[in-house]
Amino acid sequence: MASDAPVALLSELKAVPMLAELSATSLQWLGSQVKLRDIPAGQALFMQDAWGSVVYLILAGWAKVRRALRAQDSTKTLALLGPGAWVGEMAVLDEAPRSRDVLALTPLRVAGIPAATFKALMLQEPQLCYQLACSLSRRLRLANLQADLDQQSPPLRVVHTLVQLAEAFGEKTPQGMRIVYPPPQDLADISQVSRETALAVLSRLQQQGVIQPLPEQQSLLLIQYAKLLEATRLL
């Protein structure tokens, strides 16, 4: 039987909403199996086409998912992921190579869960399996919305991306909803607009007092989040 996991590690895991309902026995067992990793900004967590034997859970920081465009010898950012996100679970469940690159956008702290442990946990904890299914469903719904973005105006596409980041990973504060400050090119890629358009929209929203960059925290404060949310209902 595995040795008991450190109390500090169990506290980190239990702070993740998706793991909060695990039984004490399952949480202790999971804690004894995981390996924590701290990844500097810009470093890859894994690369496209690598075989996956580990599922990662983001404990702190933000990552970006990108696709290699080999024909153009470039990459395109597809999504940004924040605390509480599972990363790499599809390759483990499908027993297939990784389909995308995942890199640390900010300093990143993740829990690496061996594939066998992840699969066993899914069988032992139906609630966790249900929550993972809900997470995958949200990603699919978001992908469907992204596919329809070309029917919307460029500014609304950018607003949609900001709202989706806030809904999935935003932190509620007295001043507003806080998310990572998305690099302009990443925001442009996800929103399907030019970099210049993404910058112009951010500048306009800041001038209107709707958002406020927090450079020292690598964060963006959505001061008038309700206003942004209302705008996306036009989608």
Q: Which domains does the chain have, with CATH numbers?
A: 7-146 (2.60.120.10), 152-232 (1.10.10.10)
Ramachandran class of 98: left when φ > 0, alpha when ψ lies in -120 to 50, beta otherwise: beta
Angstrom distances, CA of residue 121 to CA of 52, 113, 114, 115, 180:
17, 10, 11, 10, 30
| Cα angle for residues 199, 153, 200 (degrees, 5° grid) | 15
The pLDDT score that the predictor gives to residue 3 is 55
Handedness of CA 70, 71, 73, 79 (dihedral sign): negative
H/E element holding 184? helix 184-191
In our burial notation (b when 16+ CB lie closer than 10 A, e otherwise), range 109-142 reads bbbbbebebbeebbeebeebeebbeebeeebeeb
Write down the mean pLDDT value for the chain: 91
The pLDDT score that the predictor gives to residue 187 is 97
| Tens digit of each residue's pLDDT (9 = 90 or more) over 149-195 | 778 899 999 999 999 999 999 999 999 999 999 999 999 999 999 99
| Tens digit of each residue's pLDDT (9 = 90 or more) over 42-75 | 999 999 888 889 999 999 999 999 998 877 778 9
Reported pTM: 0.89
